[in-house]
Amino acid sequence: MKGLFAVLTVTGRVKDPIESVVWLPHKLPRTTTPSSKWPRLAQLKHPDKDKGNPNATAQFQLLQAAYSMLHDPVKRREYDSQRALVPNKNGSPANTAPSSADSGPDTRQQEEAQAARTAERDAMLEVLRKKQTTQDSPVFEARRQSRRMQAEMKDLREKLSKEKLSKENREEEAHNSWSRYLSSLVLRNQESEEAKLARRRGQLDLAAAIRIRDRGLEQQKRSLCDLVANLETTQAEIARITRETDQEKADAEAEKRRREERAAQRAWAETLAAMHRKQAEEAQRRQEQERRAREESARRAREQAERERKAAEERSRRMRHETPFHDITGGLYTRVPYAIYEPPPGRGTPPPVCAHRGWWGKISGSHLCSRYSTYTRLFAFKCPGCQKVACATCRRVLRGERARPDRSANQSHSTGYFEDYH
């Protein structure tokens, strides 16, 4: 409360006692509570202490109003709700919208704000419960007094009724018989005027007492109704604050559950993403392994083919060097093992053996034989491996097959009949 109080100034009629007595913000903070400063300020501003000030009495009354307003939580809440609509000095309302920085506080700020609101409600509940306790006793006493007065009223009415009934009974019994009638006349004559007046005065006193008790009972009922209304207002305020507290706790629990659900969903999504990444990495690793295996298999196949090619070339080379050639009398070749021939003298060195025993394709037209360097007439054969071209007989020789014997010793290779029609 330090620095909270200011100099009292009253000019004309003041509508806001708090802001006229103390220096406060436009909206009264919830943490502002009466303290030892209030009695001291009241002592300083008492009219007896400030006799030179003509407005001392008005200022002291404002001070009392401010104290009662700050001390009563209900009046204080009403004050805040009323002052929230009053514009500030700059003309803007007091309950302006929060800034963008405060529009989305984090969870920690929300929890702190909730804790502050809970503490404030607990303090208000404590004050209201104390107030309810102080209100319970007058209500109980008023009800007890009302019951006592009702009992007294009942006794008085019964007593008055008995008096009236006894008089009527006496008169009725006196008229029942002549003897009683005569006795009643004697008794009437014997009854003095003073007794009659005393009996009459007693009845009037009872009636007056009943009327007085009746008015007192009505007043007591009205007072009891006011006390009960105040007590019910306090109880309703306690119930409202309790409902707000319970609702806020329920909302906080629901928000906590939603946060936990969102956290669980995020964790599950992260787990699924990690699983998908792991599966993708495994698939990529398997594809890489399969690719490397295919490349390794292709490399081995190429190496195997290269080794086979080199082995075939080596076999062909050995066959060329190890197979003898012989001349045949008359310029013709004699058949030797594996049909390896040499050209007759004057026709050059024979080409190396192809050793490709695959299917040689047939090509039409006149072509140069790779073995004898002569042209065929109609067609020839071409090796798919080394692209050698030869006639039918030379094809068998170049493939390393056993050659067929010549059908005619007079045929010459240059004519091309044997190759073309064989």
Q: What is the DSSP letter of 216?
A: H
pLDDT in tens, 228-259: 888 888 888 888 888 888 888 888 889 889 98
pTM of the predicted protein model: 0.34
What SS3 class is residue 325? coil
- Going by C-alpha positions, the residue among 21, 29, 92, 93 that lies closest to residue 55 is 21
Residue ranges of alpha helices (H) inside 323-380 are: none
- The C-alpha atoms of residue 392 and residue 402 are separated, in whole angstroms, by 12
The domain locations on the chain are 333-422
Reference 74, options 224, 230, 226, 228; nearest CA is 230
- As a whole number of angstroms, the distance between CA 80 and CA 63 comes to 18
Within a 10 A sphere around the Cβ of 333, how many other Cβ atoms?
Answer: 21
Whole-angstrom Cα distance, residue 54 to residue 153? Answer: 54
Q: What is the pLDDT along the chain (422 residues), one digit of tens a residue?
A: 333 333 333 333 344 444 444 444 444 444 445 555 667 777 777 777 777 777 777 777 777 777 777 767 767 766 666 665 555 544 444 444 444 444 445 678 877 887 888 888 888 888 888 888 888 888 888 888 888 888 888 888 887 777 776 665 555 555 555 555 555 555 555 556 777 777 777 777 777 778 887 888 888 888 888 888 888 888 888 888 888 888 888 888 898 899 899 999 999 999 889 999 999 999 999 999 999 999 999 999 999 999 999 988 888 877 766 544 444 334 444 444 333 444 444 444 455 566 666 778 888 888 888 877 788 888 898 888 788 888 888 888 887 776 555 454 444 444 443 444 33
> What are the beta bridge partners of residue 361?
382
CA dist., res. 134 & res. 112, Å (int)? 33
Which structure tokens are listed for 239?
A: 């119930």
What digits encode the pLDDT tens for the residues 47-64? 777 777 777 777 777 777
DSSP symbols for 159-180: HHHHHHHHHHHHHHHHHHSHHH
Neighbours of 318 (CB within 10 A): 10
Q: Are 135 and 230 in contact (CB under 8 A)?
A: yes
pLDDT digits (tens, 9 = 90+) for 93-118: 444 444 444 444 567 887 788 788 88
Residue 85, Cα to own-chain centre: how many angstroms?
35
Strand order in the sheet with 361-364: 361-364, 379-382, 389-390
